[in-house]
Structure 1
């Protein structure tokens, strides 16, 4: 018996070495599948609600073939295939005139998109549930259901009434992007012709404070730099950028400068790297494509600035799709986007970066063009040397930490009373 024990002790190091060798010999694909399945994956920005609003016949409960125009980039089946556990559906409203009528229409459109999102979940109870808190996301992950959060892109539907914030919060909205492509009643946009307020408007300041009180995340994607700094100075809770990338790699107004990235890290917030080509890298296009887009310039400008009716919007989108089919866009790669992520991690630290695809709103790169391909992000991160714990933080851990902190800030006054 002693001889057997002695042999066992002598062989143990070799056995452990062999087992370790088996672990190390796992392929990149195997490691990707293992890690991707074990962590909570969260995408903070998908524009399916507006797509559904414009195309009511789309059925999100069935699989649509990737790469087809009518398929879009998201449905519940492909979300499951891609191992994407949670998503923030973006309630996007094109901004028209800042009149009572314009604000009323925007609110109506926003409410309709929220209704569509909730109906989508109600029609597919075995696949998904509406989520309101980080705890909901982790609970649903265990049941293999998809967590559907609601965010709002553009504060325009708030109009000039703080009570609308409470209304949208009660309906499930958990973040609001202060502005979109134009200045609104809350503050200045990064892409309007010129600043109007010099940052946040006086009403916008009240909106940020009310969002803090409610436990609603303040999203600073799309805001003018001065609006950004006003938010940072005012907010009592960490902020998010639901879909922004690094200005260091592509100097466009929507992206974040290193100074801004450092400020968000100090604030405790998180920046979600966008997968939208125009934010990632400037790519040379064919002359034929450039000419076709130039001929459509006035119509696309009107579309982006909310000047078209629903029918006109659909016609312009149809023209754009035909241009894409005839003269395909030369796009950056997923690796180019992860270059942004690498830089942001270097500047901010691993605890302040995440992922927001902007699928169905312009997102999509070579190597990742719909939600079924989400594991490609995990594979690229592994290939670059990120650990499983770091990947967990980037894919959802950081965003959920910020979300919980926002809720905690909202609860603090109640505790004091």
Structure 2
């Protein structure tokens, strides 16, 4: 979940952020998307509902996810992100919000038990697939709601949380963040190290998206179970962007038998889109410094800037390049998809605009020579393997 949703909404409303989806999928690609289990590691539906409630059990006008589009795309198990903003770190409200977002996921299932079902295990996902139901497993984005308590960690496990992204955009009581220049823990906090061990015992996947490089390597040293990057892309394509993973980290993740799930957002996968956003931010800060936030110049800046310099969308091919790189570097077993739908606003790449478009991804993989069995691994089997391994470690504890 990124912090420029309001900007993305503005971009969409101006019309200059729109992009035509020129990709199409063959009958075989649609068939494979329906045939294989698709697990998306990160979809921000709960926080979308927090901002404005909509009934995603039926077709919706906005957002990237609803039931008809999910069925069209072949989606079986989207991890619902229980996202807590870093601004709520060190407050009781972070825990309150996390519980409220879990309530929303339960409400979705309660509204349409013929369409959705909760899933707290790999076996649940498999049973739900057999029943024709879309599973809604849950992952917590930002461990702030744990509040330094292993009892609270157990509470969230009991409520269905099956992965935790240790930090978000700021260092918290668990881990340093890749976005935060303050590295107060130089990786994980003492509690964070204990929490990783307890997550192994409970059967909660450790998600290293968002954490600093030092925190990542400390997790790898401590964990007895494979870890995931639920919605991260590759630093090779976005040099200097620590939020993404570099090649050495990917190799360490593969040695751990984990999986990196590629984020679809244009600024995650494409250096040009990142540079555009950085340049826009710098110029906006200059306007703020010169005229102030209450000025007309500042208030109209976004729309005027975008009109002169439209956003350079990535497209499906660069997402495929990220997948290719992981496969060439460490093998087919260590890559999946973590779209960040409903979390990156309208910055999604051409060809992957919402959950109906997974067949486009399948078509791209077919065009690049991936076999049906390889595609099956990327779409879901790799994540299910990791989840099952985490369950086995917990059962053996």
CA contact (8 A) 1:289 1:327 kept: no
**What RMSD, in angstroms, separates the aligned Cα atoms of the two structures?**
2.6
Structure-2 separation of matches of 1:288 and 1:382:
32
User: Alignment partner for residue 208 of structure 1, among 196, 203, 206?
Assistant: 196
**1:80 and 2:40 aligned:** no
**1:39 match:** 36
Cα drift, residue 30 of structure 1: 2.2
1:383-394 pair list within 5 angstroms: 383-394=367-378
**1:274 match:** 263
Q: 1:131 to 1:297 in 2, by over 3 A?
A: farther
Q: TM-score, normalised by structure 2?
A: 0.85
Structure-2 separation of matches of 1:30 and 1:297:
51
**How many aligned positions are there?**
361
**1:366 and 2:350 aligned:** yes
Report Cα offsets for 1:214-269 as digits up to 9, x if no partner.
Answer: 00000000110000000000000000000111111212111111111010110011
User: Alignment partner for residue 59 of structure 1, among 33, 47, 55?
Assistant: 55
Cα drift, residue 331 of structure 1: 1.1
**1:24 match:** none
**1:129 match:** 117
Q: 1:98 to 1:113 in 2, by over 3 A?
A: closer
Structure 1's unaligned 5+ residue stretches are 1-26, 66-70, 300-317
**1:3 match:** none
Structure-1 separation of matches of 2:154 and 2:123:
21
The DSSP-based 3-state class of the residue aligned with 2:26 is: helix
**1:263 match:** 252
Cα drift, residue 381 of structure 1: 0.4
**1:237 and 2:225 aligned:** yes
**2:87 match:** 96
Return structure 1 stretches of 4+ with deviation > 3 angstroms.
284-299, 318-328
Q: 1:116 to 1:98 in 2, by over 3 A?
A: closer
User: Alignment partner for residue 227 of structure 1, among 184, 203, 215?
Assistant: 215
**1:399 and 2:390 aligned:** no
Structure-2 separation of matches of 1:381 and 1:127:
29
1:78-227 pair list within 5 angstroms: 78-96=69-87, 98-99=89-90, 102=91, 104-227=92-215
Structure-1 separation of matches of 2:179 and 2:287:
16
Cα drift, residue 141 of structure 1: 1.4
Q: 1:184 to 1:33 in 2, by over 3 A?
A: same
Structure-1 separation of matches of 2:307 and 2:143:
34
**1:353 and 2:314 aligned:** no
Structure-2 separation of matches of 1:187 and 1:288:
26
CA contact (8 A) 1:289 1:323 kept: no
Report Cα offsets for 1:375-400 as digits up to 9, x if no partner.
Answer: 11101001100000000000000000
The DSSP-based 3-state class of the residue aligned with 2:75 is: coil
Structure-2 separation of matches of 1:157 and 1:98:
8
Rg comparison, structure with higher value: 1
The DSSP-based 3-state class of the residue aligned with 1:198 is: coil
Report Cα offsets for 1:283-328 as digits up to 9, x if no partner.
Answer: 26999996588437999xxxxxxxxxxxxxxxxxx99799879975
Cα drift, residue 205 of structure 1: 0.5
